[in-house]
């Protein structure tokens, strides 16, 4: 059974990230390339600023919130980070959540959907791809951004424009392929 988890990075009250993340999750479920699609909402995960005494590489987690976060991420066969761009970067909430763990990220294929003003969060997306690469996560090539996204969210609902559904489908399919390749390599080893 394959599981895709979609991480909503923004925790801002009134965030666009939540409707965008819900749309992506629904699109991924319709796509059917994963058996299970779940949302990990960082507002609900509610991690404090990094407060573990040991390097995450040791896996020696002290706090219940870290153990719960670790279990959630560990369960994912692939991840998509849905992230805004704040001052040219992803939000601190995302960096903080990533820094809590180590082995849980290793080898897990990563998709990135950013959104923002005219650039669609391209700078933030590049940063997230660097971060994922550092953590040895296979990075999807179909990562994409939603530019000038503000008019696409009304009453808590994201409405895709031409091409959005296709971009989401391509990303989800590529991640499913990366997961299958990873399983095949594991079986051959
Ligand atoms: C602190 C801050 C910085 C921002 N910086 C950028 C930016 O560098 N590039 C961009 O495209 N949009 C920027 N924006 C606009 C955000 O893309 C927009 O507010 C978006 O809705 C934020 O995502 P969220 O609603 O899910 O929190 C910024 C917004 C905030 C609050």
Q: What residues contact residue 127 under an 8 Å CB cut-off, 6+ apart?
A: 89, 90
Q: List all residues whose CB is within 6 A of at least one atom of ligand 1.
A: 10, 12, 15-17, 84-88, 116-117, 119, 121
Instruction: Give 53-112 pLDDT, tens digit per residue.
Output: 999 999 999 999 999 999 999 999 999 999 999 999 999 999 999 999 999 999 999 999
169 CA from centroid of ligand 1 (Å): 25
pLDDT at 185: 81
C-alpha span between 29 and 148 (Å, rounded): 26
Phi and psi, residue 14, nearest 5°? 80, 10
- Alpha carbon nearest to ligand 1 atom 1, residue: 86
HEC sequence for 36-83: EEEEEEHHHHCCCCCCCCCCHHHCCCCCHHHHHHHHHHHCCCEEEEEE
Ligand 1 mean position to 110 CA, how many Å?
A: 22
User: pLDDT per residue over 139-182, tens digit each?
Assistant: 999 999 999 999 999 999 999 999 999 999 999 999 999 999 98
Q: Is 75 in contact with 5 (CB distance < 8 Å)?
A: yes
Instruction: Residues 3-188: name the CATH superfamily.
Output: Flavodoxin domain (3.40.50.360)
């Amino acid at each position: 059974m394959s599981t895709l988890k979609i991480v909503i990075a923004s925790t801002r009250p009134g965030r666009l990230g939540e409707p965008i993340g819900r749309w992506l999750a629904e699109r991924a479920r319709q796509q059917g390339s994963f058996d299970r699609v779940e949302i990990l909402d960082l507002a609900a995960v509610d991690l404090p600023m990094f407060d573990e005494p040991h390097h995450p590489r040791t896996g020696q987690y002290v706090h219940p919130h870290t153990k719960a976060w670790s279990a959630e991420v560990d369960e994912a066969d692939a991840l998509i980070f849905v992230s805004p761009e704040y001052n040219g970067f992803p939000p601190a909430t995302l960096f903080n959540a990533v820094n809590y763990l180590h082995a849980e990220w290793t080898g897990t294929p990563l998709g990135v959907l950013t959104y923002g003003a005219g650039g669609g969060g391209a700078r933030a997306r590049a940063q997230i791809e660097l971060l994922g690469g550092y953590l040895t996560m296979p990075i999807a090539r179909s990562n994409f951004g939603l530019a000038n996204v503000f008019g696409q969210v009304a009453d808590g609902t994201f409405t895709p424009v031409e091409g959005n559904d296709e971009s989401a489908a391509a990303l989800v399919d590529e991640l499913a392929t990366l997961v299958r390749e990873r399983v095949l390599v594991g079986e051959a080893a």
